[in-house]
Amino acid sequence: MSQETISNATLKMNKSIESFEHSLSQLRTGRANPAMLDNIMIDYYGSETPLNQVAAITVPEGRQLLIKPYDKTTLQAIEHAINSADLGINPQSDGENIRLNIPPLTEETRKLLVKDVSKYAEDAKVAIRNIRRDANDTIKKDKELTKDDIQGYQDDIQDLTDKIIKKIDEISKKKEVELMSI
């Protein structure tokens, strides 16, 4: 049961890292990245549908995204959804495609984005600590374990937690360097 608890904690912590990385991928870094549009939903025949399911999103140049709708009648709905998403990018339509030119980031914007990275990192760390707490509680409730066994498993969980938090710090530091580089 205790090994199972540690395995579950490891799985949950890895999912927290994936979620953290996904949050970071949606930050605008001055370069074109289709993940920036992952949260945009459009009204497609009466239902909210993710943009990437109704259009192909490509990167023809370093600072440009090209959106090719599969159905040309959705062009205006896509434009409206992008404008509503408040990305700070104006869509340019040519009647068949939509181009998004990503403006270079100012120093002030870069600093704000670094703060966002720190916030996302702290949220991920809190999630990791909550997983650690739950795993420790589960181990403490196991009646078959001795105090030494419980302490050993808690030490294993703490080592895992430290390793995962260090990984989050490395990922956030890498993203901060990427944001601050011109």
Concatenate the DSSP letters of all residues of the chain into one string: -HHHHHHHHHHHHHHHHHHHHHHHHTS--SS--GGGGTT-EEEETTEEEEHHHHEEEEEEETTEEEEEESSGGGHHHHHHHHHHTT-S--EEE-SS-EEEE-PPPPHHHHHHHHHHHHHHHHHHHHHHHHHHHHHHHHHHT-TTS-HHHHHHHHHHHHHHHHHHHHHHHHHHHHHHHHHH--
What's this model's pTM, rounded to 2 decimal places? 0.75
> What pLDDT band is residue 63 in, cutting at 50, 70 and 90?
confident
Question: Position of tokens 């498993």?
Answer: 153
Same domain, 163 and 122: yes
Rounded Cα gap, residues 167 and 161, in angstroms: 10
Mean pLDDT of 147-165: 93
Q: Which residue has the higher pLDDT, 1 or 66?
A: 66
The predicted model gives 58-84 an average pLDDT of: 89
Q: Are residues 54 and 9 in the same domain?
A: no
CATH code of the domain containing 165: 1.10.132.20
CATH of the domain at 56: 3.30.1360.40
Are residues 80 and 116 both part of a single domain? no
For 132, the domain range is 2-26+106-180
Residue 173 pLDDT more than 90?
A: yes
